[in-house]
Amino acid sequence: VSHLGTRDHGSQAAVVVATLRDIVGADAVFTELADVEPFVVDWRGRYRGEALCVVAPRSTEDVARVVRACAAVGTPVVPQGGNTGLCGGSVPLVRSDDPARVGAVRAPVVLNLRRMNRILEVDTVGNTLVAEAGCVLADVQRAADERDRLYPVSLGAEGSCQIGGTISTNAGGTGVLRYGGTRENVLGLEVVLADGSIWNGLRGLRKDNTGYDLRALFVGAEGTLGVVTAATLRLHPKPRAFATAWCGVLEVGDALRLLEAVQSRAGSRLSAFELMNSAQARIVEKELPGRSCPLPSATPYHVLVEFSDTDESSPVGAQLEDALSRALEAGWITDAAVAMGMGQRAAIWEFRHSVSEANRKYGMGVTLDTGVPIGRIADFVAAASEATRQAFPDVEIVIVAHMGDGNVHFIPMFPAAVWEPMPDKPAVARRARQLVHDIAAQMHGTFSAEHGIGQTLADELVRLRSAEEIRLMRLVKDALDPGGLMNPGKVLPT
């Protein structure tokens, strides 16, 4: 079948769709343009692909049958969660109006996991939660909370992104400093492999040295090695005492001094340390009226710092206020707004979690996901700002960072009036990316800390990782997906 010529693609497509309808039922396969549209365009509307159909199975067995049927006729599969990813990984690559690409990859089936949304088990002794891959992250957090536990992965898209998506992108977010990222919070996985077989590795063991770590391989694989259908997640005791503050800072170096001080003061009670610059704070206020910055947005930099503890009577509030008074005396911060109660804490976090939504509305931001050694963040911001301003004098520099884990979203933001007339937009975005990625690389950093590679950064992966690393990655890909049918063109270029 893989030798079918173009002439036969139409009839083959009809057979594939009919087979999938037989497997999952007609109501779980969409082919009409209007029904398919939301699944072939990414969240920011930057990538639009084309799909044979969208299929939404209800069980692991059905996912396996769908993948097997696609493999039998050489039809690619694009696994998809909430479609909130920021690298174009969750939408098909192929476009019929792009002749360079259409020959390379056949229109795929988008396999959306949203109907597989059951929480299967919560174990409060072993501190584990087993969930199907299509569970929305916020629903998992809620299920843990109802049993007095915490699932600590938290990010702005948590109301729509799915557990399978967070696992496949190894999502970071705002809880990494204290609890680690997704990889550290996944104990077991169930995966449908490229040939349609099922690997059940849902064991929730804390220690398991039985051979290669298969689980780690699928975390962050972005759907290129298989379809994650369920996961055993690690839960933590629920914090009950919080102290949250929003601080004004004149320069990034001062924020680093504050980080060092609060880290040694609070130890593991330091649960968040986030940074944004004034441009970012202004954009949120402008685009999302009603969400106001806790301090005047014109302050050059803003830091959100949070202490938390599982012990209700823990003096985290007094500890934070003491740390902030010292920081004020030392001149590291200019001002601080401390949350009085959970309502104000929620408002502070809402402002922080609003940045992606506000930036999407504001203009064309080349959102970079660099990571550098924490002590080099100030040098990195200075060097990247200078290089970017030199190359693009009209650009606005927007910075939002998970500073406590060295992850800086450095965003050259092109206002619409500047961006629209540009003749070769992809080349401009590429140049902006390369400039900043090279600076991160010189500082032994990374160009993808938490968003993944998708289609946006596949070229950069080949440019910036060593030939040996690329060779090893291709060996893994070829071994697990010899037909190249799982999410083609993502992570590794076709």
Of the pair 224, 314, the CB lying nearest ligand FAD is at 224
Q: Which residue's Cβ has the minimum distance to ligand FAD?
A: 165
Name the one residue in this structure whose structure tokens are 């002439």: 7
Q: How far apart are CA 359 and CA 362, in angstroms?
A: 5
User: Which part of the chain contacts ligand FAD (CB under 6 A), choosing from 94-102, 121-129, 163-171, 200-208?
Assistant: 163-171
User: Which part of the chain contacts ligand FAD (CB under 6 A), choosing from 84-92, 93-101, 243-251, 336-344?
Assistant: 84-92
Tell which positions 451-470 bind ligand FAD, by CB under 6 A.
451, 454
404 binds ligand FAD (CB under 6 A): no
Per-residue binding string, ligand FAD, 324-363, x by CB under 6 A, is --------------------------------xx------
Shortest distance, position 19 Cβ to ligand FAD, whole Å: 21
In total, the chain counts a number of residues equal to 494
Q: How far apart are CA 287 and CA 275, in angstroms?
A: 19
Q: How far apart are CA 346 and CA 301, in angstroms?
A: 20
Backbone angles phi, psi at 311, to 5 degrees: -85, 115
User: Which position among 161, 320, 443, 480 is part of the footprint of ligand FAD (CB under 6 A)?
Assistant: 161
Q: How far apart are CA 106 and CA 1, in angstroms?
A: 13
80 binds ligand FAD (CB under 6 A): yes
User: DSSP of 174-195, one letter per residue?
Assistant: TTHHHH--TGGGEEEEEEEETT
Beta bridge partners of 54: 30, 110
CB 293 within 8 A of CB 302: yes
Of the pair 80, 319, the CB lying nearest ligand FAD is at 80
Residues 6+ apart with CB under 8 A from 194: 67, 71, 225, 226, 480, 481, 482, 483, 485, 486
172 binds ligand FAD (CB under 6 A): yes
> Tokens at residue 182, please?
């997704």
CB 168 within 8 A of CB 133: no
230 binds ligand FAD (CB under 6 A): no
First-to-last CA distance in the chain? 21
User: Which position among 127, 141, 385, 487 is part of the footprint of ligand FAD (CB under 6 A)?
Assistant: 487
Of the pair 172, 239, the CB lying nearest ligand FAD is at 172
440 binds ligand FAD (CB under 6 A): no
How many residues lie near ligand FAD (CB under 6 A)? 38
Strands (E), 103-197: 109-112, 119-123, 128-132, 149-150, 186-193
411 binds ligand FAD (CB under 6 A): no
Shortest distance, position 342 Cβ to ligand FAD, whole Å: 22
Name the one residue in this structure whose structure tokens are 């922080």: 352
223 binds ligand FAD (CB under 6 A): yes
Q: How far apart are CA 107 and CA 12, in angstroms?
A: 11
CA nearest 63: which of 46, 81, 49? 81
155 binds ligand FAD (CB under 6 A): yes
CB 149 within 8 A of CB 127: yes
Of the pair 189, 383, the CB lying nearest ligand FAD is at 189
Of the pair 323, 453, the CB lying nearest ligand FAD is at 453
Backbone angles phi, psi at 436, to 5 degrees: -75, -40
81 binds ligand FAD (CB under 6 A): yes
Of the pair 90, 277, the CB lying nearest ligand FAD is at 90
Backbone angles phi, psi at 8, to 5 degrees: -90, -5
CA angle 213–218–223, rounded 5-degree value: 165
89 binds ligand FAD (CB under 6 A): yes
User: Which part of the chain contacts ligand FAD (CB under 6 A), choosing from 220-228, 261-269, 410-418, 469-477?
Assistant: 220-228
User: Which part of the chain contacts ligand FAD (CB under 6 A), choosing from 69-77, 254-262, 311-319, 447-455?
Assistant: 447-455
The region that residue 170 occupies, defined by phi over 0 for left and psi between -120 and 50 for alpha, beta otherwise, is: left
490 binds ligand FAD (CB under 6 A): yes
- Integer-rounded Cα radius of gyration of the chain: 23
User: Which part of the chain contacts ligand FAD (CB under 6 A), choosing from 92-100, 159-167, 386-394, 426-434?
Assistant: 159-167
User: DSSP of 398-411, one letter per residue?
Assistant: EEEEEGGGTEEEEE
Of the pair 297, 487, the CB lying nearest ligand FAD is at 487
| Amino acid occupying residue 2 | S
User: Which position among 85, 108, 248, 489 is part of the footprint of ligand FAD (CB under 6 A)?
Assistant: 85
309 binds ligand FAD (CB under 6 A): no
Residue 104 Cα to chain centre, angstroms: 27
Q: How far apart are CA 364 and CA 415, in angstroms?
A: 6
Per-residue binding string, ligand FAD, 1-40, x by CB under 6 A, is ----------------------------------------
Tell which positions 199-218 bind ligand FAD, by CB under 6 A.
none
CB-based burial of residue 8 (10 Å sphere; 0-12 exposed, 13-18 middle, 19+ buried)? exposed
Of the pair 86, 436, the CB lying nearest ligand FAD is at 86
84 binds ligand FAD (CB under 6 A): yes
User: Which part of the chain contacts ligand FAD (CB under 6 A), choosing from 8-16, 221-229, 300-308, 463-471?
Assistant: 221-229
> Residue numbers of the site for ligand FAD (CB under 6 A)?
43, 78-86, 89-90, 113, 133, 155-157, 161-162, 164-166, 168-169, 171-173, 222-223, 227-228, 356-357, 450-451, 454, 487, 490
